[in-house]
Structure 1
Amino acid sequence: MQGKEYLLVLSGGMDSVTMLYDYRERIAAAVTFQYGSNHNRREAHYARLNCERLGIEWIEIDLTFMASHFSSSLLEGADAIPEGSYDDENMKSTVVPFRNGIMLAVAAGLAESRGLAGVMIANHSGDHAIYPDCRPEFIRSMGAAIADGTYEHLELFAPYTSLSKGEIARRGKELGVDYSLTYSCYKGGEKHCGKCGTCVERAEALRYAGIVLNDD
């Protein structure tokens, strides 16, 4: 099936915004989830903005109950976010338990309700060690659950699973993505802090792709 067939889970960060542009001819709508993280509101602003630029429907879903009931430094305020490298031990506290599973379950229901063929997610290889619900094993299992749990056997499409964030940024450069219109800082300030793990990873990816920004 070709055409507008997918619903994209869109955070407003580099990876999902790149996917929005990369697959814009096949994306019928994008959904952003408000789950109470420090950076959620700022990311959502850019998710909406990029959808408006491309003429793609944007949906916002409230999952803020997660902030009240789930344990994660990502839900506890800027001071709880670790600074330094984007590695397992340093970033483990930012895991929001089964976040992608919850979001993909809702997204699958939205996609089936709209008669679409599947759901897209922009996980990548740099996430695998830290976040269990970004790993290839999870994508395969969740894909099977979505297919088995929907009448039309919807697909979970995750084409960036084996790519690094740098490779995604390089693809975005080819597409002309303006990364100043994305947000990634886990501390959630007005500007990227440049110190938290996700800021460090973002800066490394931009350098890898040869992209210079003046927005941070």
Structure 2
Amino acid sequence: MKTIVICSGGLDSVSLAHMVASEHKLTRLVSFDYGQRHRKELDFAALCARRLDVPHDIIDLRAIGSALTGSALTDDIDVPDGHYAEESMRVTVVPNRNAIMLTVAFGVAAARGDQAVAAAVHGGDHFIYPDCRPAFTEAFEAMQKLALDGYAEVSLYTPFVHQTKADIVTAGTRHNTPFAETWSCYKGGTHHCGRCGTCVERREAFHLAGVLDPTTYEDPDFWSEAVARKALG
């Protein structure tokens, strides 16, 4: 199946790109610049596209992103430390981000003759991000079938939507994903901070999957404290 992958440059989407390249026909990567403070992730998406030898589209959504105010990913708001399951992480929500990106990606797929759009939403995101939940992805695909009715047939491929981040590490390992060449940290520094929600989740996922984490963290031990705090509720 001719498939495009929405690729941020993070562990999840790069692992998905390698899996699609192995199991389907990967035609291109699509990334989005929405003014995110960790824009350096796009460099890792470009690196993935070169490695897999496919075209890479970076679509400029900065004007839209500037209107979606109130998120620590786009505004001058501190990115909180801790686990994703903590209420404080809601400040990292960019409203309708996935809905907007998927809409654009489906348009690209229809225009290019692709048959599927792959997105790396996963079970660990369900608590914080409503547009990562199965109810959303199922409804979105149904809406797109109506939007493209009679013009194109494009399906939504979300193999991780019921899986954990550790499952993605396992799948990425199986498909030879170079994890060191991915970027997750929301703070966008020289190295992964080790303290923000996505860093904690990344470090925990490698631990649970039993896979060596090649990432350099500024605070490599904070994750265990955050996980323990989450367990205490």
TM-score range, shorter chain: over 0.9
**Pairs within 5 Å for 1:74-85:** 74-77=73-76, 80-85=78-83
Tell me the number of residue pairs that the alignment of Structure 1 and Structure 2 aligns: 211
Q: Secondary structure at the match of 1:106?
A: helix
**Pairs within 5 Å for 1:27-42:** 27-40=26-39, 42=40
Q: Distance in 1 between matches of 2:215 and 2:137?
A: 35
Q: Could you list the runs of 5+ residues in structure 2 that have no partner in the other structure?
A: 218-233
Question: What's the C-alpha RMSD, in Å, of the aligned pairs?
Answer: 1.3
TM-score, normalised via structure 1 length:
0.94
State the match for 1:15 in structure 2.
12
State the match for 2:99 in structure 1.
101
Shift of the 88–172 alpha-carbon distance from structure 1 to 2, 3 Å rule, reads same
Q: Deviation string for 1:117-171 (max 9, x for gaps)? A: 1211100000011101000000001111111111223111111101100110011
- Shift of the alpha carbon at 1:186? 0.7
Shift of the 197–145 alpha-carbon distance from structure 1 to 2, 3 Å rule, reads same
Q: Distance in 2 between matches of 1:109 and 1:22?
A: 23
State the match for 2:118 in structure 1.
120
Give percent identity, aligned residues only. 39
- Shift of the alpha carbon at 1:29? 0.7
Tell me if structure 2 keeps the 8 A contact 1:74–1:186: yes
Q: Could you list the runs of 5+ residues in structure 1 that have no partner in the other structure?
A: none
- Shift of the alpha carbon at 1:66? 3.1
Shift of the 87–144 alpha-carbon distance from structure 1 to 2, 3 Å rule, reads same
Tell me if structure 2 keeps the 8 A contact 1:166–1:208: yes
Of 47, 50, 53, the match for 2:48: 50
Q: Deviation string for 1:95-128 (max 9, x for gaps)? A: 0000000001110110000011121110000001
State the match for 2:227 in structure 1.
none
**Pairs within 5 Å for 1:125-164:** 125-150=123-148, 151-164=151-164
- Shift of the alpha carbon at 1:88? 4.6
Q: Distance in 2 between matches of 1:26 and 1:140?
A: 23
Q: Distance in 1 between matches of 2:66 and 2:114?
A: 32
State the match for 1:215 in structure 2.
216
Tell me if structure 2 keeps the 8 A contact 1:12–1:182: yes
- Shift of the alpha carbon at 1:67? 3.4
Tell me if structure 1 keeps the 8 A contact 2:126–2:133: yes
Q: Deviation string for 1:29-72 (max 9, x for gaps)? A: 110000011112x1110101011011111111000113321121
Tell me if structure 2 keeps the 8 A contact 1:124–1:161: yes
Q: Deviation string for 1:3-49 (max 9, x for gaps)? A: xx111110000000000001114221110000011112x11101010
State the match for 2:187 in structure 1.
187
Q: Distance in 2 between matches of 1:176 and 1:194?
A: 24
- Shift of the alpha carbon at 1:212? 2.7
Q: Secondary structure at the match of 2:104?
A: helix
Tell me if structure 2 keeps the 8 A contact 1:120–1:157: yes
State the match for 2:177 in structure 1.
177
Amino acid at match of 1:135: R
Structure 1 runs of 4+ aligned residues shifted over 3 Å read none
State the match for 2:88 in structure 1.
90
- Shift of the alpha carbon at 1:188? 1.1
Amino acid at match of 1:200: V
- Shift of the alpha carbon at 1:76? 1.7
Q: Deviation string for 1:192-214 (max 9, x for gaps)? A: 00011111001001122222315
Q: Distance in 2 between matches of 1:171 and 1:116?
A: 24
